[in-house]
Amino acid sequence: MLKITEDMTIAQVMQVKPDAVEIFRERGMGCMGCAIASGETIAEAALVHGLSLQELLDELNKGSDG
């Protein structure tokens, strides 16, 4: 699986890891279906939602090969 990085958009993450929806929802991020998802990076989303970027990336990459 492609490694998820801070500069990927939410939409890109959901394309490579569809189950990321649950990770986002668990953190109060309801942006999966909105227009912002196609332009907001993981780093921007973490900042806006007051989340630790590293913790979010770790969770999104859990089980990833790379």
pLDDT digits (tens, 9 = 90+) for 4-26: 999 999 989 989 999 998 999 99
SS3 annotation, 33-63: CCHHHHCCEHHHHHHHCCCCHHHHHHHHHCC
Residue 57: partners with Cβ closer than 8 Å, 6 or more residues away: 4, 5, 6, 42
pTM recorded for the entire structure: 0.84
10 touches 42 (CB < 8 A)? yes
pLDDT digits (tens, 9 = 90+) for 52-62: 999 999 999 99
- Domain ranges within the chain, ordered by starting residue: 10-61
Phi, psi of 2 (to 5 degrees): -65, 135
Tokens of 64: 């990833």
